[in-house]
Structure 1
Amino acid sequence: MSTQTPAYAPPVDVAAHGPYGPGRLDASAGRPLYPFQGRVTADGSSGHPAEPGRYHLYVAWSCPWAQRAAVVRTLAGLDDVVSLSYVDDERDARGWAFRERRGADPVNGFRFLQEAYDATEPGYPGHLSVPVLWDRVERRIVSNHFPDITIDLGTQFERWADPAVRLYPEYLRTEIDALNEEILRDVNSGVLAVARAATQEEYEDLRERVVTALERLDERLAGSRFLFGDRVTESDVRLWVTLARFDLGYNPHGGISERPLTAFPNLWAYARDLYQRPAFRETTDFTVFGLGAPPAIPGGPKRIEVEPVDADWDAPHGRASLAV
C-alpha cells in the first residue's frame, strides 16, 4: 500500500492571484482557444490509437463542456477503458487545480492542470480548459477540443464499448451535426451570450433567441422520446448539460426567461428522463451549477429578475410510452 502523501494545490486565493481569465483567454488571440486537437482513432492512423488504459480525462463538475465527456464515457460503457478524475470546483488566475475536496491527480500527481499544458507545450500561455484528454504513453495532452473528445469516445472505442449504444451513428451524422450546430448557437452558447450582453437591445434579442430555441425543442420532443427518436445520441448529451444548469445557474445569473425549465413540459420531462439514467446522474452535482454560470456584466442592460428553481429531478417523467 502506498503511503505517499497526495499532492494538493494550495487553496483558491483570488485576492492574491486575481480571477481566472485576464491574461489567459486574451492570450489566445491569433490561435485557437482550444489548440490541442489531436484525435483518437480505432486504427491508430492519427498517432493516438484507441487502447484500454491509455487515456485519462481531466474534467470539472461545474463545467458543461467537461460533463459531456464524462457522460459519454459512461454511456458508451468505457468506465474501465478510459480513466477519469475531477479538478477542484473553483479557480483563481492559476486555473484549475487538484484539491482535497475532489481528490488528487491519480495519473501524474499534478497540483495544477497548468502542469499538463506545460508538459505538452512548455510555457503554454493560453486558456486552461477542461475537458482534457491525456495520453499516458506519450505523457501529453491529446485534445482539449471538447467537441472532438466526445465524438472520439463515442465512435473509436467500439471494440470495448457497449454495442447497444451508438451516440453518433453514421446514418444520422448529417442530421446530428446540423442539430448540434443549432444547439450550440442558440442554447449552449446562447445562455452565455445573454449574460454577456452589453446593451438592452442585445440582451432582449439574445434572450429571445434562447427562449425561442427552447420552445422549438419543447415542440420537437412532444412526440419523440429523444431528439432523434427512441435512442440517446450525441445531440441529447450536448443539450442536456445546459438544461441541467438552466434553473440554478444560467437563468438566475443572466435573466433569460420568465419561464424556468420546469415550465417547458416536454423539455422538463425529457431532462428528467435523461437524468434518471446513471451516466447523467452520476456525473451531476447540482450544488456547483451556480459556479459555472458567468455573472451578468454590471451596469449593463436592465434584466428580468429570476429566482433559482430547485426542482425534483427524480419525479416520474412519463416518457417511456414515446419509445417506438
Structure 2
Amino acid sequence: MEYLPSYKELKNQFPLSNAHRISIEHNRNTIKKILSGHDSRLLLIVGPCSLHDSISAKDFATQFKKLSAAVSSQFFLVMRAYCEKPRTAGGWKGFLYDPYLDGSNNMQTGIYWSRQLLLELVNMQIPLATEFLDPMTAFYYEDLISWGSIGARTSSSQPHRQLASALHMPIGIKNGVAGNISAAVNGVISSTHSHVFMGLSEDGNPCIIRSKGNPDAHIVLRGGDTGPNYDPNSVSIALQKLRLAQLPECVVIDCAHKNSDKNYDRQSFVLQSILNQFVEGNLSIRGLMLESHLYSGSQCLLGGSSSLKYGISITDPCLDWHSTEQLITQGANYLAENQSTDEQTILNNRITRTLAN
C-alpha cells in the first residue's frame, strides 16, 4: 500500500486561481447554452486520444487556441485532455497511471503531473474535456474541466452515473461498446437525478455524498460493434428514444471510434455528414468530437518514452494538425455559407423544441 495525497492536498499544491475558476465557469455555461439550444453554435471537442507528453500537449494547445478564435462564430472548441484511458483487454492506462510510460505505474507522480499539466492548459485559456474513468480520481482535477464524459465501457455503471450526478459541468454519456443507445439514455436519466453514495471528502475521509443531479447530462453517439450511428436514421432513432424518455432532444456525435471504424482519415467524412444533417435542419445535433494530434496515426509503446516519435498518439490513431485545421476551417465556412440570415429563427426553433420536451 502506498500513500496518495488527498484531493485537498493536491489542489493546494496546484491551486486554481479565482480568475481561471471564473473562466471555467464561463466555459461550462457556454457549453450548457449550446446543448440547450440557446447558442446557435456547435460544440466541437477536439484533441489527442490521450495525453502522454506535456510538451506536445501544450504545443497542440497553442495551435488549438489560434484555430478556436478563427472559427468562434460557428464552433465553440474544447480540447480533449484525457489523462485516463479505458482498456478493453490491457495496455497503457494513461498519463495519470503510468506517467513514465515504462510500466512502473507511478501513480503518485502521475496524479501530480496530470493536475499540473491540466492546470497549465487552463492557464493558457484552453477549455478542457475529459473522460472520468475512475470515480476515485475524478476529484483530483474535476475543477479544471469544462466538459466531461462517461465512456462506452462505463455508461451502464451505477458508480459512474452517481459520479456524473455530482459533477458541475455538462457530462456526455456515450452509448455502449455494443452500440446500445438505450444504455446512454438510461445513463442520462440516472445522472439527472440526485443520488446518495459513498465517497471521499476533500481531506480523504470516507463520507456520504448527496448529489443534486446533473441537469446537463446528454448522450454521445460513438458507434458500436453493430456499426456506426452518425447517419440520419441512427440519429433519428436516438432522438426518438430521448423523446420517449421525456428528455431534451440533444445529441453530441463522436466522429472517431466505431463511427470511423478507428480509421482516423474517415473522421472528415463523418464530420461532413453530420454538418450536412445540421444544415438540413436537424438542430438537435449540438456537438461533435474529433481525435487529433500534431502528427497523424499512432505508435506502439514498446521501448519507453525514449523510442517515441514526437506528437504522435500512443493510443488511438489521430488526424494530424494540418488536416484538422483544414477540416474545421472548411466546416466553419460551410456552416457560415448555409447559415440562415435570420439567426434568431434558428434559436427560436431550438428553444421551441426544447420547451416542447
Q: Which interval holds the TM-score relative to the shorter structure? A: 0.3 to 0.5
TM-score normalized with structure 1 length = 0.32
Structure with the higher strand share, 1 or 2: 2
